[in-house]
C-alpha cells in the first residue's frame, strides 16, 4: 500500500520548507505533528509549509498548525502556509484560518515574508 502522506524538507537560507504531500487526516496527523515538533526542538522556528502537493486536510491536520503556531511565533518565527490548492484552501477558508495564519500564494513569497519581517525589528 502506498504511503498516503509524505513530508519532504529543505532549507531556503534560514527558513525551513516542509513540502506536504498527500492526505492529512487523523491517521497521518501524528506524523506531521512529530515532524513539526522535531523542527521546533531543533531550534528551527521559521517554517514554511509548501502545500502544493497537499490533497486533503481535516481538523486533525489543522489542529497541528494550531498547536504549534504560538510556539513558533514565541521563538521569533512563524508557521506560514504557501501554495495551497483551491480545493484545500476552501477548507482553511471555512474555518477562518486566513485571518489567523499567514497564507501566501507561493513558497517564494512566504519565505520573503520572513525576510521583510526580520529586517531590523
Partner 1 sequence: MASFERTFCLQVPSSTENLALIREFVSAVGEQAGFDENETLKLALAVDEACTNVIEHAYQNEETHEVTVRVTVDEDAIAFEVIDRGRGFDPTQEPALPVEELIRRRSSGGLGLRLIRTIMDDVQYRIVAGQKNELRMVKKRRPAKSATPEPGAPR
Q: Which residues are at the interface with partner 1 (CB under 8 A)?
A: 4, 23, 25-27, 56, 58-60, 62-64, 66-67, 69, 83-84, 86-87, 89-91, 93-98, 100, 103-105
Cell numbers at 96, concatenated = 477562518
- Alpha-carbon distance of 48 to 80, in angstroms, equals 5
- Alpha-carbon distance of 30 to 26, in angstroms, equals 7
CB of 120 to partner 1, least distance (A): 28
Q: Which is nearer to partner 1, 35 or 62 (CB)?
A: 62
Please say whether the beta carbons of 79 and 101 come within 8 A.
Answer: yes
Q: Which is nearer to partner 1, 90 or 118 (CB)?
A: 90
Amino acid at each position: 500500500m502506498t504511503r498516503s502522506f509524505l513530508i519532504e524538507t529543505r532549507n531556503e537560507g534560514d527558513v525551513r520548507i516542509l513540502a506536504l504531500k498527500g492526505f492529512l487526516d487523523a491517521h497521518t496527523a501524528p506524523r506531521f505533528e512529530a515532524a513539526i515538533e522535531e523542527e521546533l526542538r531543533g531550534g528551527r522556528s521559521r517554517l514554511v509549509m509548501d502545500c502544493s502537493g497537499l490533497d486533503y486536510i481535516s481538523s486533525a491536520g489543522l489542529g497541528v498548525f494550531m498547536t504549534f503556531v504560538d510556539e513558533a511565533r514565541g521563538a521569533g518565527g512563524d508557521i506560514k502556509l504557501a501554495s495551497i490548492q483551491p480545493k484545500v484552501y476552501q477548507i482553511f477558508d471555512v474555518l477562518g484560518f486566513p485571518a489567523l495564519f499567514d497564507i501566501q500564494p507561493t513558497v517564494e513569497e512566504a519565505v520573503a515574508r520572513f525576510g521583510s519581517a526580520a529586517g531590523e525589528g
